[in-house]
A = this chain, B = another copy of it.
């Protein structure tokens, strides 16, 4: 059953929403304190967030941006603010839908279902500069096409990618590959790195693996020519 988080300060509205969601077969969770709403949401890790914009103590916009920066969970903004500027702002900050109150429950449910559908399978995607990586299958999406990376190359790219563009030591990479660093096989690691570099180059990826002599490796974004 899909989890939906409801971030709304007005009690009656919140309960009404939860009731609708539960009847429609979702598991609804209420967020009732807002100063650390983003952390609460991350801890809850729902499949979708319904977010009001007018909140006490903080702004819905703020939550929207913070949450989207850390997750790829969809956000549906449901608000009484009907100014276009608000809508544009919310969409720009990463909201996936923007509905204004009052909103009939059929429309709300249809939009929720629609949004969830489009996020199907998107849960395990890691985001790189100009590409996406599925951490489960190591399918790489780039330039409107996709390739399945060999397992080792996938693991390496995942390890590098989840470090942002920070340095990753050989040891960490060994653990990523073989779940142990006891008997580090530097050679095998280098071979696998070479292979990854080659396939990334062949795909024309914007990010490339850079070695930091004596320390480890990191991803680096190519400068525009």
Contacts and interface: CB of A to CB of B under 8 A. Distances in A.
A137 interface: yes
A134 to B, nearest CB: 6
A147 B142 contact: no
A84 interface: yes
Interface string A103-143: 01011001101100010111111000001101011010110
Which 3 A-B pairs give the minimum distances between C-beta atoms? A121-B141, A121-B132, A139-B139
Nearest to A142: B121
A121 B136 contact: no
Nearest to A131: B121
A83 to B, nearest CB: 11
Nearest to A95: B114
Contacts of A136: 145-147
A144 interface: yes
A139 B142 contact: no
A134 B124 contact: no
Given A132-B121, A134-B146, A87 B114 contact: no
Contacts of A121: 125, 131-132, 141-142, 144, 146
10 contacts: A84-B107, A88-B107, A91-B113, A91-B114, A121-B146, A123-B144, A134-B139, A137-B148, A139-B139, A148-B148
- Main SS class of interface, A: mixed
A166 interface: no
Indicate the size class of the contact surface on chain A.
Answer: 20 to 34
B139 A146 contact: yes
A165 interface: no
Contacts of A118: 96, 118
Contacts of A141: 120-122
B84 A106 contact: yes
B132 A137 contact: no
Nearest to A88: B110
Given A121-B132, A122-B122, A134-B146, 16 more contacts: A87-B110, A88-B110, A91-B113, A96-B118, A120-B131, A120-B141, A121-B141, A121-B144, A123-B144, A123-B145, A124-B144, A124-B146, A134-B139, A136-B147, A137-B137, A137-B147
